[in-house]
Amino acid sequence: MKPLLFLLLLLFHFFVQAQEIGKKADRLLSAYHNQDLFTGNALIATNGTLDAHGINSVGYPSRMTDYI
């Protein structure tokens, strides 16, 4: 009985961890796809001028890494 309980608890633990990882991934993807969050303060600071590489006129990259 104890090994079965241990396996059930282990499976439950992995299920909860997978849910947490999924929530973080969803949050990062939504920030990546949402232009307001993706460029954030850079758009406000530079009147929305970004070049083809996502660099604003001040020289700061407007990347998702600002929100990690």
User: Where do the structural domains in the chain lie, given as residue ranges?
Assistant: 24-68
Q: How do residues 13-38 score in pLDDT, each as one tens digit?
A: 999 899 888 888 887 777 666 655 44
- Percent above pLDDT 90 for the chain: 16
Give DSSP secondary structure letters for the chain. -HHHHHHHHHHHHHHHHHHHHHHHHHHHHHHHH-HHHHHHHHHHHTTT-B-TTSBBTTS-B--GGGG-
Band (pLDDT 50/70/90 cuts) for residue 42 is very low
